[in-house]
Amino acid sequence: MPGTHTVTTEFDEEDVIILEAIKEITEMRINRTNQNILEGTEDPTNKTLHNLDMKSLKENVKDIQIFGDGEMFQVLYKVSSKKEGWSKSTKAMEIMGVGCIVQVTTQQGGSIAEAVTFVPGVQIIDHGVNGRELVGIEKNNEAKTNE
């Protein structure tokens, strides 16, 4: 069926060991962060929640370290409240001619929830100050042809 993709993932023993280690490290970090919040040594609301691109990130987070292309994921949508300590965002990374990997993030205080998925057959369209959106590759190519 056109536009339908099936992904099968098989994990070998080494993959399972790596995934378990990642899970353990993540749990340790969450526990440490929660303990720091309880002890008052970490303020989950003392974060810059309004960064939209690498330029604002570099301006607002003085000790940031970047490896690779920090602009691969582009913000499609972001809303936040520093006073209430929460933010929500949707970012996408385009794979030219194939589709986009989309990441949704919700942060409330010291807790973060994320989801990542692949959306086939779409691309990112940048509307400048009006933001970005995902549109079908065929639809965008038709619009360019009709111009």
Say if pTM beats, i.e. exceeds, 0.75: no
* pLDDT greater than 60 at residue 9: no
Question: Considering the chain, what is the average pLDDT of its residues?
Answer: 78
pLDDT band, very low/low/confident/very high, at 11 (cuts 50, 70, 90): low
Mean predicted confidence (pLDDT) in 113-118? 92
Please tell me the distance from the alpha carbon of residue 36 to that of residue 98, in angstroms, as a whole number: 43
Higher-confidence position of 33 and 16: 16
Please tell me the distance from the alpha carbon of residue 132 to that of residue 91, in angstroms, as a whole number: 10
If one counts every other C-beta atom within 10 angstroms of the C-beta of residue 122, the result is 22
On whether the CB atoms of residues 80 and 90 are closer than 8 A, the answer is: no
Mean predicted confidence (pLDDT) in 28-37? 71
For the chain, the domains span: 45-146
Q: Which residues contact 9 (CB under 8 A, 6 or more apart)?
A: none
pLDDT band, very low/low/confident/very high, at 1 (cuts 50, 70, 90): very low
pLDDT at 114: 92
